[in-house]
Amino acid sequence: MAVATRTVVEPVVGPAVEVAVDAPLRRGVEWGPVILGALGASAISIVLLTFGAALGLSTVSPYPYAGLSAKAIALLSATYAALVMVASFGAGGYLAGRLSAPSPDVTTDEQHFRYGAHGFAVWALGVVAGAALATSGVSGAVKTALQTTSTVAAAGAAGAAANPAAGGALGQLSTQPVDYAVDRLLAPGPTPNAGAAPTEANRTARSDLVQPIARAFAANLKNPQLDAGDRAMLVQIVEQQTGLPQAEAEKRVDNAFSQLKAAEQKARDAAEAARKAALIAAFAAAAILAIACAAACGGAALGARHREENTALAFWGSRRFW
């Protein structure tokens, strides 16, 4: 609150005397209550979210058929986060409104607007500060999340890596689905007498075959069936490496390609599910923040009204703040 010196002329008996007095010049926003409200909202939310995280860990289990399902956890977490944000910013706005000084020189509507503006300032400052803290600690959060979900991520990465658009998986020849398809193609025959067993001199080194096989599969992933030329090449490789007859080699090639297509479809389905989940989470976060803004503005108006009415708050039967 800024304090300036005004010159006020007061009528007195005798000659007029100019007396300099200190009259407060009130600004529209008092940053002291706003900062306190934002800090209070942040502290309350941290405490409640930490408590909620502890409750959440007590409801999940790594064992099958134990604990709540993933959907139930997501729903409960979103609901709890929304309640925490609304309660925290409502309390922070209440503090800012209760501690702000009245402005008797303005109209009632202007006073209400200023009270709401204090609540909005609490919300804006809390959101910006929270975003800055989240950005500064994002690497540690990501590392912790990856360590916590390493088992689940390993299972999903096997299928997601089959998608060429997911990061050059097929080009690097390091994906499990492609490696599995190569293993299926080059596995020995089911019986020692299956076809004419090739000699070591007639076999080609596996390292020389992995790249051609993977490139053939990668070029046909978007097609419903293998190209005739690529299929004939793969069948010939299987015959030469395993000694299987042509009919068995063709069956092995078709089965390996169909399994690779199924793995790629699973990866696409998983990516689509992740996209939808991220979309819903983003909309939910925006809605929660908007509701928290309304709670902060309403809390500031309520705090200002309680200050004007000299309303005492009771906590657990006591009228003391602590």
Domain boundaries along the sequence of the chain: 2-152+281-309, 158-268
Statement: residue 40 has pLDDT above 70? yes
Residue 142 in tokens: 């990501």
Enumerate residues 6+ apart whose C-beta is below 8 A from 7.
18, 20
Torsion-angle region of residue 306: left (phi > 0), alpha (psi -120 to 50) or beta? alpha
Considering only 13-27, 126-140, 241-255, which range has the smallest mean pLDDT?
13-27
Statement: residue 60 has pLDDT above 60? yes
Task: Identify the bridge partners of residue 9 per DSSP, sorted by sequence position.
Answer: 18
pLDDT at residue number 121: 92
pLDDT band of 295, cuts 50, 70, 90: very high
Q: Which residue has the higher pLDDT, 150 or 30?
A: 30
pLDDT at residue number 265: 86
Percent of the chain residues topping a pLDDT of 70: 67
State which H helix or E strand residue 100 sits in. none
pLDDT at residue number 122: 93
Statement: residue 57 has pLDDT above 90? no
Statement: residue 71 has pLDDT above 60? yes
Statement: residue 220 has pLDDT above 60? yes
Query: Average of pLDDT values for 44-49?
Result: 88
Give the separation between CA 216 and CA 264, rounded to whole angstroms.
Answer: 15
* CB neighbourhood size of 270 (10 A): 16
pLDDT at residue number 235: 85
pLDDT in tens, 99-115: 888 777 767 778 788 88
pLDDT at residue number 198: 57
Residue 114 in tokens: 């200023």
Report the mean per-residue pLDDT for the chain. 73
pLDDT band of 89, cuts 50, 70, 90: very high
- Using alpha carbons, select from 274, 276, 238 the residue that is nearest to residue 255: 238
pLDDT at residue number 224: 81
